[in-house]
Amino acid sequence: MPSYQPMVHAERQSLSDFLATLTPDQWTRPTYCEKWNVQDLVAHLTAAGNITAPHFFAGFIKTGFKFDDFVEGDLKNYSGGNPADVKSRFDAIITSNRKPPGPAYIALGEIMVHGEDIRRPLGAPGEHPEEHLVTLAEAYKKTGAPLRAKKRLEGLKLQATDVDWSTGAGPEVRGPCMSLILAMVGRETALADCEGEGVDTLRARATA
């Protein structure tokens, strides 16, 4: 099994470095997570880095087992104040080993996908080491609900053009590995820099 935590810590540090370049206005901009702006999404990542199993399950029960309500309420603990306040809270969890209950790859997926949810609408896609990209792509391609990547990829071949990774068989979708990762978990806009006979199929599945 890959050692996920060093990758998580490195990705958090990379995002922190990017956040340090943003203007106050950019912290209010929309992200690929439509209901959250940059400040909200950074707060969500901070909440994920502070979570413990008792806190998660107590909050989940309190919201009547409504996961989205729990997540929305939890991020509000970290979203208050100005951008400097929010970034300071995020920086405090850069080396945290806490993660939501579930598979070990969850924390890596959270920081890489949500990092791009922040960066790409601002016109600044991130750069990720090949090990991180391949590790996450391999983990995500087999996922069921809530990510549903396995169903989206059925009957398609994904071929990364920037790292040594591919999966599946059928009509091909070619593009940067991070764009393929985002597409397999429902970010249709990430297919803008992909090509191949399978792109339209994956685009339709991403928005379904």
Residues 192-207 have pLDDT tens digits of: 999 999 999 999 998 8
Q: Of the candidates 90, 106, 122, which is a domain's last residue? A: 122
Q: Which residues pair with 159 in a beta bridge?
A: 166, 174
pLDDT band of 65, cuts 50, 70, 90: very low
Q: Are residues 34 and 99 in the same domain?
A: yes
Judged by DSSP in three states, 1 sits in coil
Q: Are residues 114 and 163 in the same domain?
A: no
Our CA dihedral for 152, 32, 124, 93, rounded to 10 degrees, sits at: -100
Q: Please tell me the predicted confidence (pLDDT) of residue 69.
A: 52
Q: Please tell me the predicted confidence (pLDDT) of residue 57.
A: 46
pLDDT band of 85, cuts 50, 70, 90: very high
Q: Are residues 116 and 187 in the same domain?
A: no
Q: Please tell me the predicted confidence (pLDDT) of residue 73.
A: 58
Q: Which residues pair with 172 in a beta bridge?
A: 157
CA distance 83 to 93: 16
Q: Are residues 197 and 103 in the same domain?
A: no
Find the helix or strand (DSSP H, E) in which 9 lies: helix 4-19
Q: Are residues 78 and 181 in the same domain?
A: no
Q: Are residues 113 and 167 in the same domain?
A: no
Whether the pLDDT of residue 60 is over 70: the answer is no
Q: Are residues 10 and 89 in the same domain?
A: yes
Q: How many other C-beta atoms are found inside a 10 Å radius of the C-beta of residue 74?
A: 21
Mean pLDDT computed over 102-124: 94
Parent domain of 26: 4-122
Q: Please tell me the predicted confidence (pLDDT) of residue 114.
A: 97
Q: Are residues 106 and 34 in the same domain?
A: yes
The reply to whether 103 falls in a domain is: yes
CA distance 147 to 185: 5
Q: Are residues 103 and 22 in the same domain?
A: yes
Which residue is it, tokens 């603990």?
77
Q: Of the candidates 88, 122, 156, which is a domain's last residue? A: 122
Q: Are residues 107 and 31 in the same domain?
A: yes
The reply to whether 141 falls in a domain is: no
Q: Are residues 74 and 26 in the same domain?
A: yes
CA distance 47 to 100: 10
Number of domains making up the chain? 2
The reply to whether 135 falls in a domain is: no
Whether the pLDDT of residue 55 is over 80: the answer is no
The reply to whether 138 falls in a domain is: no
Q: Of the candidates 122, 137, 171, which is a domain's last residue? A: 122
The reply to whether 131 falls in a domain is: no
| Structure tokens belonging to residue 119 | 């960066």
Q: Are residues 51 and 111 in the same domain?
A: yes
Whether the pLDDT of residue 110 is over 80: the answer is yes
Whether the pLDDT of residue 71 is over 80: the answer is no
Whether the pLDDT of residue 28 is over 60: the answer is yes
Q: How many other C-beta atoms are found inside a 10 Å radius of the C-beta of residue 177?
A: 23
The reply to whether 136 falls in a domain is: no
Mean pLDDT computed over 152-169: 98
The reply to whether 13 falls in a domain is: yes
The reply to whether 20 falls in a domain is: yes
Cβ 152 vs Cβ 205: under 8 Å: yes
